[in-house]
Structure 1
Amino acid sequence: MEATAAELKQREQEGKNDYVLLDVREDYERAEFNIGGIHVPLGQLSMSMDKLTPYREQEIIIYCRSGKRSAMAQELLRQSGFKRVRNLEGGMLAYQE
């Protein structure tokens, strides 16, 4: 199940911080614009699973520029036993609209 930019913005407005944001973009992309969260570029995700282990039971919303890399990250996390992972549909492009 994917998360939408509208849903995420609404949750932010309501102060609902019952989820973890995971940014899988590269450093330069994050420097240009980001909405916070944990930063682990997709290429480093497999080696950085221990960084995410404390959040295994929480809802994790993953984002990238357009939603493609975050969809790959979502699958990697699911294969590693994370059950509540959602991809931000359309990524930062949709979020910034």
Structure 2
Amino acid sequence: MVQRRRKDANGKFLTGEETRVWRIARGLTQPELAGWLGLSPQAISKMERRGVSRVMALALAAIDRGLPPMKPGPEDYKAWEEREKATKGETDEVE
């Protein structure tokens, strides 16, 4: 059975200290981590004081696994458009 981590009293998944330790252990500066996450270094500083949510912890885990920042490319938009057309066709048939 997978052990689930509980949120702390403030609803944060990782404390600020855990977030800072994670960054330093990987040899990242605040500006470097900010660049990976698309945030400002000030936002990273704030995370290291207040902690992070589960969503941000997932982003840190993705960085940990070497996944690059993702921005949809042309193939993603093409797949999305095809899915939208297919969904629209299903809706038209029901009416």
Q: Which has the higher contact order (CA 8 A, sep 6+)?
A: 1
Q: TM-score range by the shorter chain?
A: under 0.3
TM-score, with structure 2 as normaliser: 0.22
